[in-house]
């Protein structure tokens, strides 16, 4: 076969490789853009939660030492879950 007769298939192969590389490059750029956008959304969600926690009212802690009430039963120890201030 004549080398000049195969020029079309060589050019077509080179064009296909260039088009594939362009598609991969565009896909990688789009993936990077979407990853950046997702990171921004997550960052804003964390920022919103931090601001909400900053201005949320704080729980009142019980003052003084706390005592748990415990007693022994035939089946084992029972500890009361309610806490009372020590008298």
User: Which pLDDT belongs to residue 7?
Assistant: 66
Question: Are 85 and 62 spatial neighbours (Cβ–Cβ below 8 Å)?
Answer: yes
Q: Give the three-class secondary structure for 6.
A: helix
Q: What is the mean pLDDT of residues 5-21?
A: 84
Of 30-34, 51-55, 76-80, which one has max mean pLDDT? 30-34
Kindly state the helix (H) or strand (E) to which residue 15 belongs, with its residue range: helix 7-55
More confident residue, 36 or 71: 36
Residue 26 has which token pair?
């565009």
Question: Are 63 and 42 spatial neighbours (Cβ–Cβ below 8 Å)?
Answer: no
Q: What is the pTM of this model?
A: 0.51
User: Which pLDDT belongs to residue 5?
Assistant: 58
For 23-51, letters b (16+ CB in 10 Å) and e give eeeeeeeeeeeeeeeeeeeeeeeeeeeee
Domain boundary assignment for the chain: 3-85
User: Which pLDDT belongs to residue 54?
Assistant: 92
């Amino acid at each position: 076969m004549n080398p000049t007769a195969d020029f079309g298939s060589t050019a077509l192969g080179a064009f296909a490789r260039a088009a594939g590389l362009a598609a991969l490059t565009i896909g990688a750029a789009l993936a990077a853009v979407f990853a950046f956008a997702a990171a921004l959304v997550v960052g804003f969600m964390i920022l919103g939660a931090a601001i909400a926690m900053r201005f949320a009212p704080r729980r009142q802690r019980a003052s003084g030492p706390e005592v748990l009430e415990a007693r022994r039963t035939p089946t084992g120890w029972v500890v009361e879950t309610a806490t009372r201030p020590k008298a």
